[in-house]
A and B are shown apart, each in its own frame.
Chain A
């Protein structure tokens, strides 16, 4: 009797197995699989930390020190030359910042560095209030949109029609002294923040970063992917979408672009996207190719609709960077006169967001939430 029931259940099982397997069709064509995923995750993190992230912070640190000293020079003697030098130093520093905004992990995340140095559009009213009162705490919540690069952008490019008019605000204007003081406070604030983050990477965080090789939310890969996606969405929504009227029933808001007053919005955006690409490719600051997410996806044999996911992502980066580069600066003008190229770049970046936010985490099994799941 025992054997009968056993046989019965065995036959049932086999039948079920066959019937279910038979009616499930093959989902994806088989592509020659490697027998093992051989990928040096620690090697990739080490490459990114030592050859891209830290050198980028170092470069940024140098430019914000120059910015700060240019402010000092300008505050002692205001003339066309010192102003021009200061404006140039500012543009350099802002560009260098765009090379670091995607690294919002570890120390930068703790400081909320993006919010601290690049909240835009800036609040000109709050800036005037601060200058008038002469006492302010830049770290306070109310001053979030009155600090960082966007505030300096306004103070160096937005308070007069031309260089002479701007100079007047620092010389003959009744608030000139307060304005100079505020400018100095702003550049010092940025300098301190960048210095803090750089020192953290140089004194221990690198070690933490390269050794957190897991795949959970707290792992370096999890943090980095979250940060890249966040940065890409800032680029898509805040730098392009909002000014293009994507979120305001088509009513354009050109004043809300990043770097509205200096008019270098597109330059900044291109730089930001290139760095995200470099993280993906594992490219060093000098441009040599090391271990990156691309190599990881190749090792995993990640697929994208019958092709390789890596090829799809690489192609999309190139398209997006080219199309974004074709948008003429100043962006605030372009949006009014001819929004077509900006809209095209927007669509490209949206496609890139899908690849980076959906395909890449899904292919790598990286968790991006803290919650229990049972895989559905």
Chain B
């Protein structure tokens, strides 16, 4: 086949994966599993008492840059918000007033995530953007309470993009997670798995192996290859079954070894979107047969009006271009990414570093020259203190907060400095922030933080 023909076929195939009409069943099932896992994870969050721990107890919150207007509600307000989140995920699952439910879920979930970056997790970001995509699609127009309630809503054939965008998103997540593992530390030092796996050596059955250094290398390389390839293997019909088997295996194991919460289960659930439409149709048929509702089905095609379709295409193009670019923004910053963390978040960098720190803050009265050391626990929860001590943007936010607090106590123009020590992937702790810089005078921006010391600079405090 000539190259040109080949390109043309590829192009056509690519276009077809967006424009041709496909059965809606995969999308309906995605709605159900996504709603179900969100319902479970919201209830789990509430039951762990995290609303109080994360959003009621702290006196101060580390908001995201540009989102300082986001504040937690009162205690009752926060519980109401989580109640809303619970109900909306239930409604998503059932396909009941779906559009309202998914918008409510996206807004309430994202609002909560924006309150405090202490609790930022890649999979929370994933849930937000996944919900955003879910708003664009008619996931409720089949096998849902909405259809029962209003049979005219029912459709069976949808433009393929409403399913493809989710595959594309998942492919991106895995592939970028894989790319981020292609570093010297991960591949050739087996870091941080060399630290984390032996820490689990007391687990039954596998514990013995986790102590072995070669196992850390095996897991590192397997993890990288898995992440890079799994999205493609799930796309291809011939490799899909074994690929999904590996998805389950990989996530069950990581979920067992590490305290990563719901992430593994979310991925196991939503990757079912890769399954063929026949699989999904059959699944729904089987479920229906339990309720003995076997009705024959007419083809009901969803035709989106061309203008609306164009707007959505444009939106999706912008969205995916951003998704492609955002993880690479770290290239614009000097220094070691893991150390400065400039451009680290929102990039599918998961489980890549064992980083720990201790930060002592000092507040000096500019007028009297007298100085106090801050007891961090008076201002932050243990979790906030731990996360703050290794992340420069949070250190800066805290310094500004301290300035305000001490000013209220009558300290004149407080000068805030920190002596902060951080260890990264077993390097040994070293000075992280220039301890002579008055952080109260530094401002948050997208520019590199000059007051973060270089990783290579050794701490010779002894």
| A365 adjacent to B371 (CB under 8 Å) | no
Q: Report the nearest A residue to B9, measured CB to CB.
A: A1
B359-375 to A contact mask, C-beta < 8 Å, 1/0? 01000010010111111
Contact B365 A367 (CB under 8 A): no
Chain A CB within 10 A, most for which of B345, B360, B372, B430 = B372
A161 CB–B CB distance under 8 Å: no
Is A358 within 8 A of B375, CB to CB? no
Q: Spot the interface stretch: B81-89, B91-99, B191-199, B244-252.
A: B191-199
CA distance A214 to B421 in the complex (A): 27
| Among A16, A241, A374, contact of B260 (Cβ-Cβ < 8 Å) | A374
Q: Which residues of A contact B374 (CB under 8 A)?
A: 247
Question: Do A369 and B411 form a contact, CB below 8 Å, given A20-B182, A241-B373?
Answer: no
CB of B179 within 8 Å of the partner chain? yes
B35 interface residue (CB < 8 Å to A): no
Against A, the Cβ 8 Å flags (1 = close, 0 = not) of B198-227 are 111111000000011110000000000000
Closest to B371 in A: A250
With A33-B213, A364-B199, A374-B350: A358-B422 Cβ-Cβ less than 8 Å: yes
B187 touches A213 (CB 8 A): no
Task: Assess whether A24 is interfacial by the CB under 8 Å rule.
Answer: yes
Q: How far is the CB of A7 from chain B (nearest CB, A)?
A: 12
Assuming the contacts A20-B179, A362-B356, asked whether A247 and B259 have C-beta atoms less than 8 A apart, the reply is: no
Q: Which of B10, B123, B357, B429 has the most CB of A within 10 A?
A: B429
Which has the most chain B C-beta neighbours within 10 Å: A25, A309, A354, A355?
A: A354
| Contact present for A365 and B427 (CB under 8 Å) | no
Q: Which residues of B contact A39 (CB under 8 A)?
A: 211
B162 CB to nearest A CB, Å = 25
Q: Counting chain B CB atoms within 10 Å of each CB, which of A306, A353, A365, A376 scores highest?
A: A376
- Would you call B373 and A359 a contact (CB within 8 A)? no
Q: Does A287 contact B (CB under 8 A)?
A: no
CA distance A364 to B358 in the complex (A): 16
Contact A21–B182 (Cβ < 8 Å): yes
Contact of A362 among B213, B261, B355 (CB under 8 A): B355
Q: Are B461 and A350 in contact (CB under 8 A)?
A: no
Interface stretch of the complex, out of A129-137, A171-179, A277-285, A297-305: A297-305
Question: Are A41 and B201 neighbours in the complex by a CB distance under 8 Å?
Answer: yes
* Chain A window 355-376, contacts with chain B (Cβ cutoff 8 Å), 1 for yes, 0 for no: 1011101111111111111111
Say yes or no: A375 contacts B422, CB within 8 Å. Answer: no
A1 contact set on B, CB distance < 8 A: 1, 6, 9-10
| A216 at interface, CB cutoff 8 A | yes
A37-B198, A371-B383 known; A24 and B183 CB under 8 Å?
Answer: yes
Q: Say if the beta carbon of B189 comes within 8 Å of chain A.
A: yes
B 380-395 binary contact with A (CB < 8 Å = 1; else 0): 0011001001000000
| A358 and B352 contact, Cβ closer than 8 Å, known pairs A5-B10, A215-B199 | no
- Contact between A374 and B423, CB atoms less than 8 A apart: no
Q: Is B130 an interface residue (CB 8 A)?
A: no
Q: Which residue of B lies closest to A356 (CB)?
A: B358
Q: Which of A83-105 contact B (CB under 8 A)?
A: none
The reply to whether B426 and A303 contact each other, CB–CB distance below 8 Å, is yes
**Looking at A17, A361, A365, A372, which has the most chain B CB atoms within 10 Å of its CB?**
A372
Q: Which residue of A lies closest to B460 (CB)?
A: A305
> Would you call B355 and A353 a contact (CB within 8 A)?
no
Q: Are B259 and A372 in contact (CB under 8 A)?
A: yes
- Among residues of A, the one whose C-beta sits closest to the C-beta of B341 is A376
Contact assessment for B195 and A36 in the assembled complex, using a CB-CB cutoff below 8 Å: no
| Cα(A249)–Cα(B121), bound, Å | 38
B289 at the interface (CB under 8 A from A): no
Q: Tell me the bound Cα distance from A233 to B73 in angstroms.
A: 33
Q: Is the CB of B213 within 8 A of A373?
A: no
Interface string of B414-448 (1 = CB under 8 A from A): 00000001111111111000000000000000000
Number of interface residues of A (CB under 8 A): 70
* Interface residue? B69 (CB, 8 A): no
Closest residue of A by beta carbon distance from B183: A24
- Chain B residue numbers with a CB within 8 Å of A17 are 182
Are A358 and B358 closer than 8 Å at their CB atoms?
yes
Asked if A237 CB lies within 8 Å of chain B CBs, one says yes
| A371 and B119 contact, CB distance less than 8 A | yes
CB-contacts of B1-35 with A (<8 A): 1, 6, 9-10
A358-B356, A372-B261, A374-B350 known; A214-B202 Cβ under 8 A: yes
Cβ-defined partner of A369 (8 Å) among B122, B386, B426: B386
A125 beta carbon closer than 8 Å to chain B: no
Q: Least Cβ distance of B80 to chain A in Å?
A: 23
Query: Contact at A376–B349, with CB atoms within 8 Å?
Result: yes
Task: Judge whether A368 and B198 touch: CB under 8 Å.
Answer: no
Query: Is B148 an interface residue, CB under 8 A from the partner?
Result: no
- Report which of A249, A354, A375 forms a contact with B411, defined as CB distance below 8 A: A249
Q: How far is the CA of A241 from the CA of B228 in the complex (A)?
A: 52
Within 8 A of B (CB), among A212-269: 213-216, 219, 237, 241, 246-251
| A13 at interface, CB cutoff 8 A | yes
Residues of chain B with a CB closer than 8 A to A300's CB: 195, 198
A365 touches B195 (CB 8 A): yes
A204 interfacial contact with B, CB 8 Å:
no
B199, A365: Cβ atoms under 8 Å? Answer: yes
Q: Which of A16, A27, A38, A214 contacts B179 (CB 8 A)?
A: A16
Given contact pairs A24-B183, A247-B373, A374-B260, A41 touches B121 in the complex (Cβ within 8 A):
no
The smallest beta-carbon distance between B200 and chain A, in angstroms, is: 6
Closest A residue to B53 by CB, please name it: A371
Q: Hey, which chain A residues are within 8 Å of B329, CB to CB?
A: none
With a cutoff of 8 Å between Cβ atoms, the chain B residues found around residue A26 in the complex are 184
B288 at the interface (CB under 8 A from A): no
Determine the distance from Cα of A359 to Cα of B427 in the docked complex, in whole angstroms. 9
For residue A286, give the distance in angstroms from its CB to the closest CB of chain B: 29
Identify which of residues 237-260 in chain B touch chain A, using a CB-to-CB cut-off of 8 Å: 258-260
Please tell me if A140 contacts chain B, counting CB pairs below 8 Å: no
Whether A351 pairs with B354 at a CB distance below 8 angstroms is: no
Chain A: CB-nearest residue to B209? A36
Residues of A close to B261: CB separation below 8 A: 372-374
Does A28 belong to the interface (CB within 8 Å)? yes
Which residue of B is nearest A361, CB measured?
B356
Q: Which chain A residues border B107 with CB–CB below 8 Å?
A: none
A309 and B428 form a contact (CB under 8 A): yes
B426 touches A373 (CB 8 A): no
Query: Do B258 and A21 touch across chains, with their CB atoms under 8 A apart?
Result: no
Closest to A19 in B: B182
Q: Mind listing 8 A-B residue pairs with CB under 8 Å?
A: A27-B185, A307-B428, A355-B429, A358-B356, A371-B383, A372-B121, A372-B261, A375-B350
Interface residues of chain A, those whose CB is within 8 Å of chain B, are 1, 4-5, 9, 13, 16-17, 20-21, 24-28, 30, 33-39, 41, 213-216, 219, 237, 241, 246-251, 300, 302-307, 309, 312, 315, 350-351, 353-355, 357-359, 361-376
Nearest 9 Cβ contacts at the A-B interface: A372-B261, A365-B199, A304-B428, A362-B356, A215-B199, A375-B351, A213-B202, A24-B184, A305-B428
Given A1-B9, A362-B423: 15 more A-B contacts, CB < 8 Å: A1-B6, A5-B10, A9-B232, A24-B183, A35-B213, A41-B201, A216-B259, A247-B372, A304-B428, A362-B354, A364-B199, A372-B262, A374-B121, A375-B192, A375-B258
